[in-house]
């Protein structure tokens, strides 16, 4: 178990205000995470290539392209949408 003093220091650095019950709970959770990493450190990894990401492909996003639709009226037909000059009318965000 991680000492309470270290939990308090971690909470301070994270700008968290923890009561004693929360500190105990998070201390147990952090200890569990550290124990899991210690278990992983026991694995034999000799000859295993390091992985920096699970996706090895480059440029997986498609390029942006403008497409014309022949029937924009059909696209804009929605009974719950309000239109003004073929634009969607929405509530103000700000």
List Cα–Cα distances, 26 to 12, 49, 89, in angstroms: 13, 34, 47
The answer, yes or no, to whether residue 94 has pLDDT greater than 80, is: no
Whole-prediction pTM value?
Answer: 0.48
Computed over its alpha carbons, how large is the radius of gyration of the chain?
27
CATH topology of domain 4-41: Histone, subunit A (1.10.20)
Average pLDDT, the chain: 83
Arithmetic mean of pLDDT, 23-43: 92
Do 6 and 13 contact (CB within 8 A), yes or no?
no
Q: Convert the pLDDT of each residue in 1-15 to its tens digit.
A: 889 999 999 999 999
């Amino acid at each position: 178990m991680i000492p309470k003093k270290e939990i308090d220091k971690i909470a301070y650095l994270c700008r968290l205000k923890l009561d004693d019950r929360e500190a105990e709970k998070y201390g147990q959770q952090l200890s569990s995470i550290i124990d899991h990493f210690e278990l992983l450190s026991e694995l034999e990894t000799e000859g295993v290539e390091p992985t920096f990401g699970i996706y090895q492909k480059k440029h997986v996003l498609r390029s942006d392209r403008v497409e014309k639709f022949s029937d924009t009226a059909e696209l804009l037909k929605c009974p719950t949408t309000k239109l003004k000059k073929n634009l969607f009318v929405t509530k103000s965000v700000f």
